[in-house]
Amino acid sequence: MPGTNLTNEQTFFLAYAQTQCYQRQELSQFIRTKSGIYDERTALNTALIHMPEFAQAFQCKLKENQCFD
């Protein structure tokens, strides 16, 4: 992507992650989690750690659960 140090693949995953970002009140998120609806960060990281394409794009080590917080 022009103007950044990101590859096309990294830009794709960044754009996807940004579509999953929401601001929530702590109580609201607590209630959602108790109901089995996990916060976006957990859901996003869980999905991405199972994608070899993500690991390849960000050069994650095999034993890491995620590349970044």
Q: What is the pLDDT of residue 12?
A: 93
**pLDDT tens for each residue of the chain, 69 residues long:** 678 899 999 999 999 888 877 766 778 778 877 888 777 788 888 888 888 899 999 998 765 555 555
Taking the model in full, what pTM does it have? 0.65
Burial 40-55 (b: 16+ CB within 10 A, else e): eeeebbeebeeeeebb
